[in-house]
Amino acid sequence: MKPKSQIVNIPVYKPGKPIEEVKRELGLSEVIKLASNENPYGSSPKAREAIQAELMNLSIYPDGSAGDLTADLAEHLNVGREQIIFGAGSDEVIALITRAFLVSGDETIMADQTFSVYKSNADIEGAVSIEVPLVEGKHDLEGMLEKVTSKTKIIWVCNPNNPTGTIVSEAELVSFLDRVPQDVMVVLDEAYYEYVTDAAYPQTIPLLAKYANLVVLRTFSKIYGLAALRIGYGVAQPEIISLINKVREPFNTNRLGQSAARAALSDQAFVTQCRDLNREGVTYLQGEFERLGLHYYATHGNFIMVDAGRPAGEMFDALLRQGIIVRPGFQVYPAYIRVSIGTKEQNEAFIKALEYVLKAETTGV
C-alpha cells in the first residue's frame, strides 16, 4: 500500500521516555521524569472530584460541541462562545488548522527550533515550511516578515517558545502583526501562557478584536495538570473557528476531560500556586547553572534549556543511569538538553545527578 508521498520522510514524534520503561531497563527503583513539561504538582483537587463524578457516564458520548466548557471558558476569557474550538490537546487544533487552510504548495513560516508539530502537520498537507533561525533562542519576527510571499498562508509563533523558553514581548508582537498581510494567518501558540510572570508578555486575547487573522492556542495540559485527558483550545474570530470546525471530528474531546477542565478553570488559586512554585524552581536551576558555568536560556515556561557541554544524547544517557529523564534531540542545539521544572526535591536531585555526571566526565571516574 502506497502512502502519501509527503509523509514518507516525516519523523515519528518521540515523547519523553516513560518512567516505568526506564525502571525496567536500568533496574532502578526511583526515577524522576523531567522531560515532558508536565506539572509536578498534579491537577486541582476540584478536577479530580469532577472526574470521579463523571465516571458513571462513561457509556455516554461526550458533548461534541463541549458546550458547558465553552461557556465557562468564554466567560473566563471574555470572548464569544463562537470564538472557541477545543481539541485533543492543542496539538489537534494545530492539525485542524493545517487541514483547513493549507494545500500542497502553500508556504508556512516558523522558527527553525520550535514545537515540531507545526512542521509535521504542514508536511502532511504538502505545504512548504520556511524555517527562520532563532536569534539567541528567540523568534526573529523581522526575519519572518522578510520571508512572507504571495504563497504564505500561516505564520507560527510559539510564545514562550518550546524548547528555548524565550518570549516575544507585546510591543514586538503588535509591531509584527501590524505588518503581516491580513490574508496571512498568525497562530500564537501559548501553551505555557499561565506560567509567564514577565509584564512585557503579550495579553493576546484582547488583540483578537483588532487582528482578524490572529489565532491563539492554549491548553489544559500544562499548568492545569490535565495532560492525560488531552484538552487544548483555539481562540479566534468566529469566521475562522467556523472553518476549523468543518474539519473537526465529532466527539474529539472526552467527557472526563471536559468536566475536569471546567473544574480546573474554576480553581485559579491552584494555578497561581503552581506559577509561584515554578518560578522558584526556575530561579534555583538558573542559579545552579550559573554556579556550574553552564549556558542556559532564561526561561518563561516550566522548562529550561541548558548547554550540557557534550552531545545531548550522551548527557541524556548519563543522566538516565542516575534516574533522571530529560529531553535531548534538538537539531539546532545538539549539545543542549531541555529540563522540566520539577518540585524542589526533584530539582535538587537533578542538579546532584548533573554534577555527578559532569565530575565523572572531567575526572574520568
Q: Does the CA dihedral 341-342-343-346 come out positive or negative?
A: negative
Give the C-alpha separation, 121 to 187, whole Å. Answer: 14
Backbone angles phi, psi at 303, to 5 degrees: -155, 165
**pLDDT for 23:** 76
Q: Could you say which residues of the chain have pLDDT below 70?
A: 1-17, 361-365
**pLDDT for 27:** 78
CA 138 to each of CA 97, 160, 163: distance values in angstroms, whole numbers, following the listed order = 24, 9, 10
Render 264-283 in DSSP notation, one character per residue. HHT-HHHHHHHHHHHHHHHH
> In b/e form, how buried is each residue of 42-51, taking b as 16+ CB within 10 angstroms?
ebbebbeebb
Which secondary-structure segment (H or E) carries 258?
helix 255-265
Strands (E), 249-361: 296-297, 303-307, 324-325, 336-340
State the pairing for strand pair 232-235/303-307: unpaired
263 is written with which cell numbers? 473544574
**pLDDT for 265:** 98
**pLDDT for 26:** 74
Give the C-alpha separation, 242 to 240, whole Å. Answer: 5
201 is written with which cell numbers? 508578555
Q: Are 87 and 253 in contact (CB under 8 A)?
A: yes
181 is written with which cell numbers? 498581510
Chain centroid to Cα 226, Å, comes to: 13
**pLDDT for 30:** 86
338 is written with which cell numbers? 531541555
**pLDDT for 129:** 98
Helix, strand or coil, per DSSP, at residue 128: strand
Mention every residue, 6+ apart, whose C-beta is less than 8 A from residue 205: 77, 78, 79, 216, 235
Which residue in 339, 18, 83, 330 sits closest to 215, CA to CA? Answer: 83
- Cis omega (within 30 of 0) for bond into 40: no
Q: Are 89 and 219 in contact (CB under 8 A)?
A: yes
Q: Are 168 and 202 in contact (CB under 8 A)?
A: yes
**pLDDT for 8:** 56
Q: What is the CA angle 185-66-78, rounded to 5?
A: 60
Taking the CB of residue 40, how many other CB atoms lie within 10 A of it?
Answer: 21
Place of cell 476549523: 244
Give the C-alpha separation, 140 to 167, whole Å. Answer: 11
CB-neighbour burial class of residue 290 (10 A; exposed 0-12, middle 13-18, buried 19+): exposed
